[in-house]
Structure formats: C-alpha cells, structure tokens
Structure 1
Amino acid sequence: MKHEHILVCGGGLAGMACALALKKAGFSPRILAPAYKPMVLAAHQYHPRVYALSATSQAFLNELGVWSLMDAARITPVSGMELYGDGDGFVQLDSWQNAQSTLTWIVESGEIERVLHQALQVYSVPWQDDFFDQLTATGIQTKGGVQIPADLIIGADGARSQLRAKAHIEHQARPYKHNGVVAHLDAQLPHQHIAYQWFVGDAVLALLPMPDTDRGPQVSMVWSVQESQANDFMALDRAAQAAHLQSLLGALTQHRLGSLRLRSEPFSFPLTLERSAMIAPKVALIGDAAHRVHPLAGQGLNLGLGDIEELVRVLSTKASYQSVGDSRVLERYRRARVEPIMAMRWVTHGLHQLFSLPGAPIAFARNVGMNMVNKVPFIKRQLIEGAAGRKTGFF
C-alpha cells in the first residue's frame, strides 16, 4: 500500500533526508515545514554547524544519491583521532589500524541540506510551507488552517517537537547544565586530517578538521562547558571573545595546533540527555525529536540517519495488509532502535560522568585506563569500528 499518505513534519536535515528516502523507496511523502532558505555564504565562509559523518551515514547518503552532489572541497575526511585526558591519558586512533582510509567525514549542515533540497525538487516531493498545529482524526491541521490527510505522520521537528507533545509521546529530558559553544578557528599549524578531543574536568573540547581557507588551516571548535562559563563567554564582545579563546585554547591544547584564533561568530546551545517512547498511533519520531545524546561523541546526526534508514526498512518490509501507521509496524521500528540509542546514550553519558568525577584517585585511574587502551590494538580496532558507525563505540 505504497500509495498511502506519509507526512513528514520538519524541513531540516532529518526531515528532508527522511522524505527523500521514503520517495526513493516508492512511498508518497509530503513535507510540512516553513520554506527552505539556504544560508548565503561568502568565499571561505562556512556554515557554523558541522557534523562528523560515520561511514554508515556516508553510505546511506550515497544510496540516496546526494553524497556526490556535495562540493568535495567542503568535505574533510578524518584519517585519525587524538584523545587527551585530564592528566597524561592519551589514545591515538588511525584509520590504517583497521584497514580503512577514512574514519569519518566532517561536513557542514548547510551543505547536506542544500543537496537534499535539490534532490527533493528533482523527485517532486510536495512541500507545504506552513506549521504543524493539531492532530486530527484523518491527519493534521496546520497553523494556516489547512487539513492534510496522513496515514503516518513522522516527527522530524527537532528537540522541542510540537508533534511529540500533541501526540502525548512520553519524553524525558535531563539537562547537563552545560552548554555547547561552537565556532570556526584559524590554526597556525595544519590539522593533517586529525580530529582532536580534550577531556578537562567536566569540560570537553573538540577540534574538528575543516577545509583550508585563504588564511590557512581551519578547525571547527565544539566546546562543552558549564552554563555559567558559556554565558560569561557569550556576553563578551567579539574582541574579548577572541582574546579569551586564544589564551584558553592555547593552555588546554598545549599548542598542539599552534596559535588558534577565532574566525567566525560563536554560537551557544544547552546540552541535554533526552529520550522518548518514539511512537504513538500513526506517529513515529526520528532524530532530535526522538532522542538527544551528549555531543562529545559526535553521534547525534548519525543516530538520526539510522532512525530514518530503519524506519524506511520497516515500512518497506511490512505485510501487504498492514498500513504504514499500523501500531505493530511502528513498534518494530521502535524496538529496532532501542539498542543502538541506549548503547550510545550509555557511552556518551558514562564518559561525561567519568570525567566529571572529582578526586585525584579517580583522575589517575581514568588516565591510566586511556593509556592502557592506547596499547591494545584489538580495543582500538573496536573504537575505530564505532567511529565508522559499524558498531557502538566512543564516536
């Protein structure tokens, strides 16, 4: 019954990817969201939000036909990772240690959205420029008063999902009382396609390799820090922000990439650990509407794309007599996603808690543990598999 109506609420990256995957699988999806407005960027300017795409996510985007549409000059392959503890702990991962050429790819959110929107236009996927308002007996009603019939409604409307609330889907959120601060930086030394991460007390600093610019090497900073510290930083003027970061990052990174200078406007957002029941009658959630994990592992988008891939697989393999909104069908989707989501939540939350614990004995133990991991090839191969998205790991 692929003629059934499927409505995707949300026109961001997850919503567009879901609608495209459904269309290519033979379904008839429609998107409900405000009209897509691409960010206009000047030369050597980059979208503020970037993602670390796993090999599994890269393969999925390739299957959708959009990977090759992206500007290769704006994609940075990651061939290695360096992790530093709050003592002498150190773990180094290289793609060659597991016979791979690339661990992950750093890609701008805006670049992925651009090619997804282009593909949706090619496939003539309808886009309703409006907002979700209410569930009805036959589908939904928009803020503009339009009635849209739907046999299945997919919530891709983000962490503050209105569809999730109106469908009364169980949702729990636990604030970390930390904010993520993101910005692009000019680096004095080349990053050599390596991603760096420092665990410093209850703060986590990640520097992700980005394409070189007219000013030389560039990295993207993701800094998880206490709310008060993030708010104080964001309250500074641009010059003070630049001076503060240059001093702070030099100390934290031990000048691993030389001097680091603020290149773009910084943004800050609260960090939360969130879970939901994911489904309700004729409703399924994906991406941030369904779950959120700590960004220290860079797995948010990869988990969301995994939701889409599994949901489309379940819908495509359901019995012919079952509707796409059948509760038994949606329950199969929910069960299939429980394990990978819980495993990633356990890893990311556990790491955050581990490095938040005070005390010299605990600090000594976790740094010794990192050094032991660095000496065991089998464990490192398992972590690399996790980075590629082939199993649950640190990344």
Structure 2
Amino acid sequence: MNTSQDVLNHAQQTARPSLSIAVIGAGPAGLSLALQAARALPHAHITVFDARPADKDVSQDPRVLALSLGSVQELQRMGLWDAMLATQQVAAIRQVHVSQQQPTVLWPGQGQPAVHISAAEQGVPQLGAVISYGTLVAPMQASWLSAVAADEARLSMRFGTPVKGVKAVSEGVEIDADIVEHFDLAVIAEGGVFADQPKLSWPEGVSRDYRQKAWIGQVLLADDTPAGVAYERFTPSGPAALLPLPRGSVVPGGPVGPRAALVWCVPSDDDPVAELDDAQRLTVLNTIFPAQVGEIRQMSPLKVFPLGLNAHRRLVSEGALVRIGNAAQTLHPVAGQGFNLGLRDVHELLAALVRASQGTSTDVATALRQFERRRQPDRFTLIAGTDFLARSFTFPAPILATARGLGLGAMQALGPLKRALANTMMFGRR
C-alpha cells in the first residue's frame, strides 16, 4: 500500500516544469515554433506576439518561398502539408538546372557546363516545393488559433501587439508590449527584409550591402515548357532564377499556362532593368535563360528590393533571448535557402528544449547552449556560401566566368560532389 509520502515522492519525480515562452513574430518561423512547442512541451505556456491586426487576411500574400525537401517533411510532420496542397497553389520542384550565360572558354566538353539535379536520381519524390507566403502561413495561423482556443489557459495569441522592448532580467526576460511581462525564454522570429533591418557590426554580427537589387515577379511560359524545373542562371549582372508555379495567369484576365516566379538580381549602381518598359524587359529575359526554358511569353509587373546580408554572430544573447530565421540571418536569395534555414533553427531549438525538460526542472541556459552549438555549422556554411556567390559578381568577369563554368562542369561530372550538393540543398548541413 502506498503511503502519502510515496505518492508525494512519485509526483515530484514525474512532475514537469512550467516553462513560459514568448514568440515574437507570427510569421512561418514563429508559428512553426509555437505549434510544435505546444505539442512537444505540454507544460509550457506559450504566447505569440505580432503587430499585424487579427483581421488581416494573410492568405493573399503573393510573396514566393522555395521550400527544401526537409522543410516539406517538417510541414508534413506538423500535419499542415495536406491543407497547403489542397489550395492547389503549391508546385513541386523535381529538377534543378544551374548554368551561366557567359561561355566557359576553357571548357573541353560538348556544349556549355551546367549542373542538373533531379529527384529521380536522388531517390526522392521531389527536391522541394514552391509556395506563396500566404498559402504557407494561413494554415499555420489557423492551426495555432485552434490550439489557443482549445487551451486558453496555456496558449495565447496577441495580434495587434508590437513588442517595444526585450530586456534580460534575472531568471528570464521581460517583454514590453504596452505592459511588461516576464518570461523564461523569448524567441525573436520577426526579421523582416534587409532594407528594414538595423546594420550590424562585429562582434555582434556582420552586415554587408551587396549594392544589388532583386526584381521580383511572375512570368508565363510556353505550353511545352518542362514542368517542375527550377532554373538558376548566372549572368554578368547577377543571378537570375525561375521557380515553378502552378498553372495560371500572371496578369488579371491574361492567358493561362505554365508559370514561374522570377528573381532577377542586378547591380544597384548600374541597373539594366529600371529604365526598360515591360516589352523590353521581356525581350531581355528571353536572352538570359537557357534554351530549355523555352519562350517567356508574358511578365507580371515587377517589384524591386535591395539585397544584403545581416547575420548575428550569436543566436543566443543575454541569457534567455534567442533569434531564429530572418531575425538571426537575412541572406541573398541566390540559393533560395532563407526560410529553410529558419525552419532548421526551429527544429533544433525545440529539440534542445525537449531534451532539457526531461527532468524535474528545465535548464533553459543549457538547452540554448546546445541549440546554438548544433546550429552554427549549418548556418555558417550557408551564410559563407551565399555571401561568396553574391560578392563574386564584383570579380573580373572573364576570370569569374571561366572559374564558375569549370566549377559547374566539375560538379556535374563528379557524382559524390553533386550528391553532397543535393543533400545540402534538401536538408542542410547534417
């Protein structure tokens, strides 16, 4: 027969600590963390703050994100991927084609060097997917609001509540959002774009203005254009990319057909796109991409964004303050890996918190040290790689074109090297 002391001892041994977490930013990284933490840390109190009003319809946000296979699998594990597919606004990436516009003068092979990576040769159903920001975030937000409604004592959503300050205090952090509240842990997941971010300086981090801009929009392709292919093209002005989209039109009332998202990077100081009208831009685009793309038939209005690098040296600061996603690193879009890097931040942070909460107390400091140590190799590899590619367009053009062309040819010819690139592209550095 158990005594009262036996029952008390058992309760103390099996008790789980209450952990209060503030997530600042209800974008894809912040919502992903909140949703998964609510399930994996059933004793945690989680509050999400976001400045946008509760009635804002995020589903119509047309910004395009490239998801790696690892990110697709993460969304599948979260039970959200089917809802996203049901919108019919998701396009699978089944092939990646990387080439350059300038000829490689020393190339000994037939044609010009290029890297071709396919899902079939990698033994996976797809290399990744392309999705709009709204299609990604809307199901996440709906799922989080449902979780909040089901467990209001533990979970909270603060729409229309900008966070004005975060201050490290003894045993946690204070969040100033009109009223000051104490939390054990604050996660900043609200990064924004490079142009809106404060510049960093060492040792806090690195900030670099690439003096490049990205023209963003959609293009309509010929009916016989191969489906599911993402094209990366290195040009003398900078990288350009086409990412597959579901069939549709690119202008209201326009013809329906195969579409692609366009990312067209050019120098800010000598912009070859700004002074062109739409017809001239379309003509230039048809000279940039390889013959496999076929004819680019129509183009949507383009928006332009300045490009640069902001990367914090540390992911954890002031004890219990963590940065993830664009709040930790804002990258050049040359590799299309910004969101994927942020989702891997979420995965590793959650794993560290779960490991730390297995006992009768949650050692937040230890969990955060483990998280930062495990994340740094992956993020530093990607930051350095995209930074090198972005800055390489300032190198002397003949030298750059030859070196890059030979590198593409070697990558395609050497199977193990190409498999390593494909794995990194799909899952990050593991």
TM-score normalized by structure 2? 0.81
Matched, 1:185 2:243: no
Equivalent residue for 1:44? none
Q: What is the CA-CA distance between 1:264 and the residue it aligns to?
A: 3.3
Which secondary structure state, in structure 1, belongs to the residue aligned with residue 401 of structure 2?
Answer: helix
Question: Which of 243, 257, 265 lines up with 1:216 in the alignment?
Answer: 257
- Larger-Rg structure: 2
1: distance between equivalents of 2:285 and 2:322? 42
Please, which of 287, 291, 300 is the counterpart of residue 251 of structure 1?
Answer: 287
Residues 159 and 174 from structure 1, CA distance in 2 versus in 1: closer, same or farther, beyond 3 angstroms? farther
Offset, 1:164: 9.7
1:100-145 Cα shifts (integer Å, max 9, x gaps):
22111111111110010011012114111211112354743445x2
The yes-or-no answer on 1:153 pairing with 2:186 is yes
**Aligned residue among 65, 73, 77 for 2:79:** 65
* SS class of match (2:371): helix
How far apart are residue 80 of structure 1 and its match?
0.7
Q: Is residue 2:282 matched to residue 1:268?
A: no
Unaligned runs of 5+ in 2: 1-15, 104-111, 149-154, 250-255
Say which SS state the counterpart of residue 192 (structure 1) adopts.
coil
Partner of 1:116: 140
Q: 2:166 aligns with which of 135, 143, 151?
A: 135
Choose from 41, 50, 63 the match for 1:33: 50
Rounded Cα–Cα distance in structure 1 between residues aligned with 2:422 and 2:166 = 43
Shift of 1:24: 1.5
For the residues of structure 2 that align with 1:63 and 1:40, how far apart are their CA atoms? 21
C-alpha RMSD of the superposition: 2.7
Structure 1 227/359 Cα, relative in aligned 2: closer, same or farther at 3 Å?
closer
The change in CA–CA distance for 1:160 and 1:210 in structure 2 (over 3 A counts) is closer
Counterparts of 1:380 and 1:134, CA distance in 2: 45
Contact persistence 1:32–1:132 (CA under 8 A): yes
Matches within 5 A, 1:1-395: 1-26=16-41, 27-34=44-51, 35-36=53-54, 37-39=56-58, 41=60, 47-72=61-86, 73-85=88-100, 86-87=102-103, 88-124=112-148, 125-129=155-159, 130-136=161-167, 137=169, 139-143=173-177, 145-159=178-192, 170-189=204-223, 190-213=225-248, 215-229=256-270, 233=273, 241-254=277-290, 256-276=292-312, 277-280=314-317, 281-318=319-356, 320=359, 323=362, 326-389=364-427, 391=429
Shift, 1:8, TM fit:
0.5
User: How far 1:254 sits from its partner (Å)?
Assistant: 4.7
C-alpha distance in 2, partners of 1:390/1:169? 25
Q: Partners of 1:113 and 1:289 in 2: how far apart?
A: 17
Distance in 2, Cα, partners of 1:201 & 1:163: 28
- Structure 1, residues 249-302: CA drift from partner, whole Å, max 9, x if none? 011115543332454332222211222112122211100111122211111000
Amino acid of the residue matched to residue 346 of structure 1? A
CA distance in 2, matches of 1:119, 1:217: 31
Letter in 2 for 1:105: A
Q: Using the alignment, how far apart are the partners of 2:296 and 2:138 within structure 1?
A: 30
**Residues 282 and 299, structure 2, Cα contact 8 Å, conserved in 1:** no
Q: Give the direction of change, closer, same or farther, for the CA distance of 1:259–1:74 in structure 2 (3 Å limit).
A: same
Deviates more, 1:348-357 or 1:90-99: 348-357
Question: Residues 237-257 of structure 1: CA distance to partner in whole angstroms, max 9, x if unpaired?
Answer: xxx542232011011115543
Of 3-12 and 248-257, more deviation after overlay is shown by 248-257
Distance in 1 separating the partners of 2:301 and 2:45? 40
Distance 1:254 1:64, change over 3 A: closer
Any idea what the Cα deviations from partners look like across 1:20-41, whole Å, max 9, x if unmatched? 1111212321111123522464
Distance (Å, rounded) in 2 between the aligned partners of 1:18 and 1:164: 24
Asked if structure 1 preserves the Cα contact closer than 8 Å seen for 2:193 and 2:330, the reply is no
Rounded Cα–Cα distance in structure 1 between residues aligned with 2:277 and 2:198? 37
Equivalent residue letter for 1:28: H
Alpha-carbon distance in structure 1 between the residues aligned to 2:37 and 2:345: 13
Q: Work out the CA distance in 2 between the residues paired with 1:304 and 1:102.
A: 20
Which shifted more, 65-74 or 200-209? 65-74
Identity %: 23
What is the count of residue pairs matched by the alignment?
378
Q: Which runs of 5+ in 1 are unaligned?
A: 42-46
TM-score (structure 1 length as normaliser):
0.87
The CA deviation string for residues 133-170 of structure 1, in whole angstroms up to 9 with x for no partner, is 12354743445x222221111001105799999xx992
Q: Does the Cα contact within 8 Å between 1:164 and 1:285 map onto a contact in 2?
A: no
Equivalent-residue separation in structure 2 for 1:109 and 1:134 (angstroms): 27
